[in-house]
Structure 1
Amino acid sequence: MLEDMRLFSMIVEHTSLNKAAERLNLSQPALSRRIARLESELEVDLFRRIGKRLELTAAGQLTYEFALELRRFHGSYLQKLNAFKSAEAPIATIGASLTTLQTTLPALITAMTEKHPNLEIKAVTGKSHEITTLVKERKVDFGLVASSVEDDASITSLPLFDDHLILVLPRTHFILERTQFEVDDLNGLPMILFAPGTWYRTLTDQLFRRHNLKPDVRMEIDSFEAIIRLLSACRAGTLLPKSYLREQVLKDNDLYLVRIPELEETKRTTSLIHGDPAWLAPSTRYLIEETRAYFARNQTTI
């Protein structure tokens, strides 16, 4: 039926049996017989013949809409099938937790598209457990999450790098007059924090409870970039993942990193997660290895 639907849609789109037959390199009688056979199988008339002109019936219009959907799904199927024939993936869909999306994914996408100019990367964001579900349901090729998934046998976790929190302050902040810093210096400190709900904020809250700290929280924002830009204006500090704090970010915003030993204990491992290896296309396996190699090369700058 797939081929008959293709022939039928060609007639509709060329508005003429003769033109469609010519385009398909078929004789008009042969094409007429194919359409007659399709109408017989479906037990409906697809065209209303008015003189030399063909007009779709209501059933014909419905069938044409189905033919278009069939064409789209067939094209999508062939595209996905091609991934099993080549290590070069035309499209990769990556699931990323919100923190990972802001910290590590931009640089990874830049590196991968520079190496593979024809690669189209799509990103789906969500909380870590949501990304895990997408991986299990094969709605993304693989996921990047700021955790590991050890309690689900259907998920493979590959550690990429370790991350921890660092205190970030404007260079003009009065506290920088000190030469030594302790975790207690966070008590009462004006701060802008990430909105609740991510591993990063969870680590931050755990740190505060563990050391009985009560900072002066001025704002809660779900964007690292917005936090960075507001620090100087609000004369506040923040705790951000080390992976986000590239040298250029600090330079552009005139910021300073304050290293406090207790903050380095807030370690979290960012992992690549994927599902059953038997379902991975060769192109996906290749991109997974590329991703692991990328983070291995950049460990010193993360």
Structure 2
Amino acid sequence: MLEDMRMFAAVVEQTSLNKAADRLNVSQPALSRRIARLEAELGVQLFRRIGKRLELTAAGQVTYEFALELRRFHGKYLQKLNEFKSTEAPVATIGASLTTLQTTLPELITAMTEKHPQLEIKAVTGKTHEIATLVKERKVDFGLVGSSVDDDPAITSLPLFEDHLMLVLPRTHFILERTQLELSDLNGLPMILFQPGTWYRTLTDELFRRYNLKPDVRMEIDSFEAIIRLLSACRAGTLLPKSYLREQLLKDNDLYLVRIRELEETKRTTSLIHGDPAWVAPSTRFLIQETVAYFARRPGSPKSLS
């Protein structure tokens, strides 16, 4: 029926069997037979003849609208099918948790677009469980989250790199006058923290509970950049993921990193998650492999990726 509908639509658009036959590269009698067969199959008359002109009946108009929808859906189907035949994806939609959006995604997008200039990358953000749902519903090609998703058999988690918290202070902070800082020095320390609800803040709160720490939390903000900019003005410290902290960033904001053993033990693995491999197009599979390989070359990647 798909071919019959294509021919029927051509007759409607050309308003002539002869013109449609020329466009379809078939004979006029053969095209007439196809239209007659379609009418018999549907049990309705599709055209009325007015002189030499063909005019659609009411049933013909409904059938033409269906033929247009069928043509549109067929085109989309072929487009999606082509994605399974090519390793060059025109568009990649990546889901990113709030923390990985700020620490990991910008660097990855830069690397991907440098290697694939024609690639268009879209990002969808949310909490880890929200990204996992988007992956399962195939609304994103894959996700980047600050944890693994091992409790859901519908999701595959691939470890990318290990991260941990680090204490960041303004270089002029009075506490740096001490020769060595310990975790207990966070008690009463003015701090700016990331807002609750992310793995990173959960890790921070777990640390405070485990060591019975009670810092003086002055602000809770959902932007690492804003936290960094406010530290000196507020004479406060913060705990940030190591993956976010760059030497130039610290230099530009006159900040100092403090090494504390307990903080280096707050390890968390950032992972790439994707859905059922049977539904992963070759183009997406190729980008996933490239992403895993990219992070495997960086310091701090899990040994399983080396």
> Shorter-chain TM-score: what band?
0.7 to 0.9
Contact 2:162 2:301 in 1 (8 A): no
CA RMSD of aligned residues (A): 3.3
Where in structure 1 are there 5+ consecutive unaligned residues? Answer: none
- Partners of 1:154 and 1:232 lie apart in 2 by 45
| TM-score normalised per structure 2 | 0.81
Structure 2 CA distance for partners of 1:31 and 1:297, relative to 1, 3 Å: same
| CA displacement at 1:133 relative to structure 2 | 2.7
Q: Aligned letter for 1:136?
A: K
Aligned counterparts, 1:230-245, within 5 A: 230-245=230-245
- Partners of 1:51 and 1:220 lie apart in 2 by 78
Secondary structure at the counterpart of residue 227 of structure 1: helix
Secondary structure at the counterpart of residue 161 of structure 1: strand
* Number of the residue aligned with 1:140: 140
Contact 1:246 1:301 in 2 (8 A): no
1:77 aligned onto 2:63: no
Q: Aligned letter for 2:152?
A: D
Aligned counterparts, 1:259-270, within 5 A: 259-270=259-270
Contact 1:94 1:140 in 2 (8 A): yes
Structure 2 CA distance for partners of 1:88 and 1:208, relative to 1, 3 Å: same
- Partners of 2:301 and 2:232 lie apart in 1 by 25
Aligned counterparts, 1:68-217, within 5 A: 68-217=68-217
- Partners of 1:190 and 1:49 lie apart in 2 by 86
Which deviates more from structure 2 when the two are superposed, residues 192-201 or residues 271-280? 271-280
Q: CA offsets, 1:141-184, max 9 Å, x none?
A: 32222111223333322211100111222333333333321112
1:222 aligned onto 2:222: yes
Q: Aligned letter for 1:244?
A: Y
| CA displacement at 1:242 relative to structure 2 | 0.8
Aligned residues: 302
Which deviates more from structure 2 when the two are superposed, residues 49-58 or residues 105-114? 49-58
| CA displacement at 1:107 relative to structure 2 | 0.9
* Number of the residue aligned with 1:256: 256
Which deviates more from structure 2 when the two are superposed, residues 227-236 or residues 39-48? 39-48
- Partners of 1:178 and 1:57 lie apart in 2 by 91
Structure 2 CA distance for partners of 1:19 and 1:244, relative to 1, 3 Å: farther
Q: CA offsets, 1:221-277, max 9 Å, x none?
A: 222222223323333222111111122332333322222221111110111223333
Structure 2 CA distance for partners of 1:222 and 1:45, relative to 1, 3 Å: farther
| CA displacement at 1:43 relative to structure 2 | 5.5
Secondary structure at the counterpart of residue 135 of structure 2: helix
Which deviates more from structure 2 when the two are superposed, residues 100-109 or residues 87-96? 87-96
* Number of the residue aligned with 1:279: 279
Contact 2:160 2:270 in 1 (8 A): yes
| CA displacement at 1:48 relative to structure 2 | 8.0
Contact 2:161 2:301 in 1 (8 A): no
Q: Aligned letter for 2:123?
A: A
Aligned counterparts, 1:39-50, within 5 A: 41-42=41-42
Secondary structure at the counterpart of residue 193 of structure 2: strand
| CA displacement at 1:140 relative to structure 2 | 2.8
